Amino acid sequence: MGGPMAGHLIDAGYRLRVHTRTASKAEPLLERGATWCENVGDVAVDADAVCTIVGYPDDVEQTYFGAAGILAKCRPYAVLIDLTTSAPDLARRIADGHPQALDCPVSGGDVGAQAGTLSIMCGGTDEAFTAALPLLKCMGKNVVHQGGPGAGQLCKLVNQIVIAGTMLGVAEALAFARQPGLDPDTVLRSIGDGAAQSWTLDNLGPRMLAGDFEPGFFVKHFRKDMRLAAEAAQRLGMDLPGLAIARQQYEHVDDDSGTQALIKRYDP
Protein backbone atom coordinates (compact mmCIF):
# COMPACT_ATOMS: atom_id res chain seq x y z
CA MET A 1 0.00 0.00 0.00
CA GLY A 2 2.89 2.36 0.63
CA GLY A 3 3.81 2.68 -3.04
CA PRO A 4 0.49 4.12 -4.25
CA MET A 5 0.24 6.32 -1.15
CA ALA A 6 3.69 7.79 -1.81
CA GLY A 7 2.72 8.24 -5.44
CA HIS A 8 -0.17 10.50 -4.43
CA LEU A 9 2.28 12.69 -2.51
CA ILE A 10 4.43 13.01 -5.63
CA ASP A 11 1.30 13.89 -7.62
CA ALA A 12 0.66 16.71 -5.14
CA GLY A 13 4.13 18.15 -5.72
CA TYR A 14 5.97 16.91 -2.63
CA ARG A 15 9.63 15.92 -2.89
CA LEU A 16 10.21 12.44 -1.48
CA ARG A 17 13.09 10.44 -0.07
CA VAL A 18 12.14 6.79 0.23
CA HIS A 19 13.32 3.55 1.76
CA THR A 20 11.86 0.05 1.60
CA ARG A 21 13.20 -3.30 2.72
CA THR A 22 12.77 -4.56 -0.84
CA ALA A 23 14.47 -1.90 -2.93
CA SER A 24 12.85 -2.99 -6.21
CA LYS A 25 9.44 -1.94 -4.86
CA ALA A 26 10.62 1.67 -4.82
CA GLU A 27 11.63 1.73 -8.51
CA PRO A 28 8.33 3.24 -9.80
CA LEU A 29 8.74 6.08 -7.28
CA LEU A 30 12.39 6.62 -8.18
CA GLU A 31 11.43 6.86 -11.85
CA ARG A 32 9.05 9.66 -10.86
CA GLY A 33 11.75 11.66 -9.06
CA ALA A 34 11.93 10.24 -5.53
CA THR A 35 15.39 9.86 -3.98
CA TRP A 36 16.53 6.51 -2.60
CA CYS A 37 17.88 6.21 0.97
CA GLU A 38 19.93 3.20 1.99
CA ASN A 39 18.77 3.35 5.63
CA VAL A 40 15.37 4.07 7.08
CA GLY A 41 16.61 6.84 9.34
CA ASP A 42 18.09 8.72 6.40
CA VAL A 43 14.62 9.57 5.09
CA ALA A 44 14.17 11.75 8.19
CA VAL A 45 17.34 13.83 7.79
CA ASP A 46 16.30 17.46 7.10
CA ALA A 47 12.71 16.33 6.38
CA ASP A 48 9.71 18.39 7.45
CA ALA A 49 7.54 15.25 7.61
CA VAL A 50 8.14 11.51 7.67
CA CYS A 51 5.53 8.88 6.75
CA THR A 52 5.94 5.21 7.60
CA ILE A 53 3.88 2.12 6.87
CA VAL A 54 5.37 -1.26 7.80
CA GLY A 55 4.07 -4.65 8.87
CA TYR A 56 4.15 -5.30 12.60
CA PRO A 57 4.67 -3.43 15.89
CA ASP A 58 8.20 -4.85 16.09
CA ASP A 59 8.91 -3.23 12.71
CA VAL A 60 7.55 0.09 13.97
CA GLU A 61 9.72 -0.19 17.09
CA GLN A 62 12.87 -0.75 15.04
CA THR A 63 11.98 1.92 12.49
CA TYR A 64 11.56 4.61 15.13
CA PHE A 65 13.72 3.54 18.07
CA GLY A 66 16.61 1.78 16.29
CA ALA A 67 20.10 3.23 16.66
CA ALA A 68 19.87 4.62 13.13
CA GLY A 69 16.11 5.04 13.22
CA ILE A 70 13.82 7.97 12.64
CA LEU A 71 13.83 9.40 16.17
CA ALA A 72 17.62 9.48 16.15
CA LYS A 73 17.79 11.46 12.90
CA CYS A 74 14.65 13.58 12.55
CA ARG A 75 14.37 17.30 13.16
CA PRO A 76 12.81 18.29 16.51
CA TYR A 77 9.82 19.89 14.77
CA ALA A 78 9.34 17.30 12.02
CA VAL A 79 5.89 15.73 11.83
CA LEU A 80 6.11 11.94 12.12
CA ILE A 81 3.17 10.04 10.65
CA ASP A 82 2.98 6.30 11.26
CA LEU A 83 0.31 4.76 9.03
CA THR A 84 0.91 1.20 10.24
CA THR A 85 -1.75 -0.62 12.24
CA SER A 86 0.19 -1.07 15.45
CA ALA A 87 -0.15 -1.12 19.23
CA PRO A 88 -1.69 1.92 20.97
CA ASP A 89 0.94 1.78 23.74
CA LEU A 90 3.73 1.91 21.16
CA ALA A 91 2.15 4.94 19.51
CA ARG A 92 2.12 6.68 22.89
CA ARG A 93 5.79 5.84 23.46
CA ILE A 94 6.74 7.39 20.12
CA ALA A 95 4.74 10.53 20.95
CA ASP A 96 6.39 10.70 24.39
CA GLY A 97 9.74 10.97 22.63
CA HIS A 98 8.50 13.26 19.85
CA PRO A 99 5.34 15.31 20.50
CA GLN A 100 4.90 15.93 16.77
CA ALA A 101 4.27 12.22 16.19
CA LEU A 102 0.92 10.91 14.97
CA ASP A 103 -0.51 7.40 14.78
CA CYS A 104 -2.60 7.32 11.61
CA PRO A 105 -3.61 3.76 10.64
CA VAL A 106 -5.61 3.44 7.44
CA SER A 107 -8.52 1.42 6.12
CA GLY A 108 -9.60 0.79 2.55
CA GLY A 109 -7.11 -1.82 1.37
CA ASP A 110 -5.23 -1.80 -1.91
CA VAL A 111 -8.25 -0.31 -3.69
CA GLY A 112 -8.33 2.71 -1.39
CA ALA A 113 -4.56 3.17 -1.49
CA GLN A 114 -4.53 3.24 -5.28
CA ALA A 115 -7.51 5.58 -5.52
CA GLY A 116 -6.40 7.90 -2.72
CA THR A 117 -9.66 7.28 -0.89
CA LEU A 118 -8.42 5.70 2.34
CA SER A 119 -10.05 6.29 5.69
CA ILE A 120 -7.33 7.59 8.01
CA MET A 121 -7.77 7.48 11.80
CA CYS A 122 -5.46 9.88 13.60
CA GLY A 123 -4.12 10.10 17.13
CA GLY A 124 -1.87 12.89 18.39
CA THR A 125 -1.86 16.53 19.37
CA ASP A 126 -4.01 19.11 17.62
CA GLU A 127 -0.84 20.87 16.43
CA ALA A 128 0.62 17.74 14.86
CA PHE A 129 -2.67 16.82 13.21
CA THR A 130 -3.07 20.29 11.69
CA ALA A 131 0.47 20.15 10.30
CA ALA A 132 -0.04 16.67 8.83
CA LEU A 133 -3.50 17.22 7.38
CA PRO A 134 -2.42 18.41 3.88
CA LEU A 135 -0.32 15.26 3.47
CA LEU A 136 -3.01 12.97 4.80
CA LYS A 137 -5.60 14.44 2.45
CA CYS A 138 -3.42 13.39 -0.49
CA MET A 139 -3.83 9.76 0.56
CA GLY A 140 -7.33 9.62 2.01
CA LYS A 141 -10.76 11.14 1.65
CA ASN A 142 -11.92 10.54 5.24
CA VAL A 143 -9.30 11.91 7.63
CA VAL A 144 -10.52 12.15 11.23
CA HIS A 145 -8.66 13.22 14.38
CA GLN A 146 -9.73 10.73 17.05
CA GLY A 147 -7.87 12.22 20.02
CA GLY A 148 -4.45 12.09 21.66
CA PRO A 149 -1.58 9.68 20.99
CA GLY A 150 -2.80 6.10 20.59
CA ALA A 151 -6.37 7.10 19.72
CA GLY A 152 -5.84 6.43 16.02
CA GLN A 153 -4.67 2.90 16.76
CA LEU A 154 -7.61 2.25 19.07
CA CYS A 155 -10.03 3.42 16.38
CA LYS A 156 -8.37 1.11 13.86
CA LEU A 157 -8.87 -1.81 16.23
CA VAL A 158 -12.58 -0.93 16.33
CA ASN A 159 -12.49 -1.01 12.52
CA GLN A 160 -10.84 -4.44 12.50
CA ILE A 161 -13.37 -5.88 14.95
CA VAL A 162 -16.13 -4.81 12.57
CA ILE A 163 -14.30 -6.31 9.58
CA ALA A 164 -13.68 -9.60 11.41
CA GLY A 165 -17.39 -10.13 11.95
CA THR A 166 -18.30 -8.90 8.48
CA MET A 167 -15.81 -11.25 6.83
CA LEU A 168 -17.33 -14.21 8.64
CA GLY A 169 -20.80 -13.18 7.50
CA VAL A 170 -19.85 -12.62 3.85
CA ALA A 171 -17.89 -15.88 3.55
CA GLU A 172 -20.59 -17.96 5.21
CA ALA A 173 -23.39 -16.32 3.23
CA LEU A 174 -21.78 -16.80 -0.18
CA ALA A 175 -20.89 -20.41 0.63
CA PHE A 176 -24.49 -20.94 1.73
CA ALA A 177 -25.81 -19.39 -1.50
CA ARG A 178 -23.97 -21.99 -3.57
CA GLN A 179 -25.20 -24.96 -1.55
CA PRO A 180 -28.87 -24.99 -2.66
CA GLY A 181 -27.96 -24.06 -6.24
CA LEU A 182 -28.39 -20.29 -6.27
CA ASP A 183 -26.14 -18.32 -8.60
CA PRO A 184 -23.97 -16.36 -6.12
CA ASP A 185 -23.26 -13.57 -8.61
CA THR A 186 -26.99 -13.05 -9.02
CA VAL A 187 -27.39 -13.15 -5.25
CA LEU A 188 -24.78 -10.38 -4.95
CA ARG A 189 -26.83 -8.21 -7.31
CA SER A 190 -29.75 -8.41 -4.89
CA ILE A 191 -28.15 -8.21 -1.48
CA GLY A 192 -25.50 -5.68 -2.49
CA ASP A 193 -28.14 -2.96 -2.65
CA GLY A 194 -30.03 -3.98 0.47
CA ALA A 195 -29.43 -3.91 4.19
CA ALA A 196 -26.53 -6.39 3.81
CA GLN A 197 -24.51 -3.95 1.70
CA SER A 198 -20.94 -3.34 2.91
CA TRP A 199 -17.50 -2.51 1.55
CA THR A 200 -16.44 -6.11 2.19
CA LEU A 201 -19.40 -7.55 0.30
CA ASP A 202 -18.97 -5.16 -2.64
CA ASN A 203 -15.20 -5.43 -3.02
CA LEU A 204 -14.24 -8.85 -1.67
CA GLY A 205 -17.43 -10.82 -2.36
CA PRO A 206 -16.72 -10.93 -6.12
CA ARG A 207 -13.11 -11.96 -5.44
CA MET A 208 -14.32 -14.79 -3.22
CA LEU A 209 -16.66 -16.05 -5.94
CA ALA A 210 -13.95 -15.79 -8.61
CA GLY A 211 -11.42 -17.71 -6.51
CA ASP A 212 -9.17 -14.65 -6.56
CA PHE A 213 -7.23 -14.83 -3.32
CA GLU A 214 -4.41 -12.44 -4.24
CA PRO A 215 -3.70 -10.17 -1.29
CA GLY A 216 -5.05 -6.68 -1.17
CA PHE A 217 -4.57 -7.15 2.57
CA PHE A 218 -2.58 -10.13 3.82
CA VAL A 219 -4.12 -12.69 6.18
CA LYS A 220 -0.95 -12.54 8.30
CA HIS A 221 -1.44 -8.82 8.85
CA PHE A 222 -5.13 -9.24 9.65
CA ARG A 223 -4.26 -11.89 12.23
CA LYS A 224 -1.87 -9.38 13.79
CA ASP A 225 -4.61 -6.76 13.90
CA MET A 226 -7.10 -9.14 15.52
CA ARG A 227 -4.50 -10.12 18.10
CA LEU A 228 -3.91 -6.47 18.97
CA ALA A 229 -7.68 -5.96 19.31
CA ALA A 230 -8.03 -9.03 21.54
CA GLU A 231 -5.16 -7.85 23.75
CA ALA A 232 -6.69 -4.40 24.08
CA ALA A 233 -10.07 -5.91 24.94
CA GLN A 234 -8.47 -8.14 27.57
CA ARG A 235 -6.83 -5.12 29.21
CA LEU A 236 -10.26 -3.48 29.32
CA GLY A 237 -11.82 -6.58 30.87
CA MET A 238 -14.02 -7.21 27.82
CA ASP A 239 -15.06 -10.51 26.22
CA LEU A 240 -15.45 -10.32 22.42
CA PRO A 241 -16.68 -13.77 21.29
CA GLY A 242 -17.23 -12.74 17.66
CA LEU A 243 -13.62 -11.61 17.38
CA ALA A 244 -12.49 -14.85 19.00
CA ILE A 245 -14.37 -16.93 16.39
CA ALA A 246 -12.86 -14.92 13.54
CA ARG A 247 -9.36 -15.37 14.94
CA GLN A 248 -9.95 -19.11 15.23
CA GLN A 249 -11.17 -19.41 11.64
CA TYR A 250 -8.27 -17.38 10.23
CA GLU A 251 -5.75 -19.68 11.91
CA HIS A 252 -6.61 -22.14 9.10
CA VAL A 253 -6.10 -19.69 6.21
CA ASP A 254 -2.77 -19.27 4.40
CA ASP A 255 -0.63 -16.38 5.69
CA ASP A 256 0.09 -14.87 2.29
CA SER A 257 -3.45 -15.00 0.90
CA GLY A 258 -5.78 -12.04 0.87
CA THR A 259 -8.31 -11.90 3.68
CA GLN A 260 -11.08 -12.96 1.26
CA ALA A 261 -9.56 -16.46 1.27
CA LEU A 262 -11.61 -17.08 4.42
CA ILE A 263 -14.32 -18.48 2.15
CA LYS A 264 -12.17 -21.60 1.72
CA ARG A 265 -13.12 -22.54 5.28
CA TYR A 266 -16.77 -22.86 4.20
CA ASP A 267 -16.55 -23.56 0.47
CA PRO A 268 -13.29 -25.44 -0.28
Identify the three-state secondary structure at position 74: coil
DSSP state for residue 140 in the 8-state scheme: E
- The identity of residue 106, as a single letter, is V
Of the candidates 156, 220, 224, 264, the residue annotated as catalytic is: 156
Q: Are 6 and 35 in contact (CB under 8 A)?
A: no
Q: Are 104 and 82 in contact (CB under 8 A)?
A: yes
> Does the active-site annotation cover 25?
no
- 3-state helix, strand and coil shares in percent for the chain, rounded to the nearest 5: 55, 10, 30
Burial of residue 200, with CB atoms counted within 10 A of its CB: 0-12 exposed, 13-18 middle, 19 or more buried:
buried
**93, 182, 208 from 96: Cα distances, Å:** 5, 56, 43
- What distance separates the 2 farthest-apart alpha carbons in the chain? 63
Q: Measuring CA to CA, which residue among 16, 25, 135 is closest to residue 81? A: 135
Task: Please tell me the distance from the alpha carbon of residue 145 to that of residue 124, in angstroms, as a whole number.
Answer: 8
Task: Please tell me the distance from the alpha carbon of residue 122 to that of residue 231, in angstroms, as a whole number.
Answer: 20
How wide is the angle at C-alpha 78 spanned by C-alphas 88 and 65, nearest 5°?
50
Which residues form the catalytic set?
A: 156
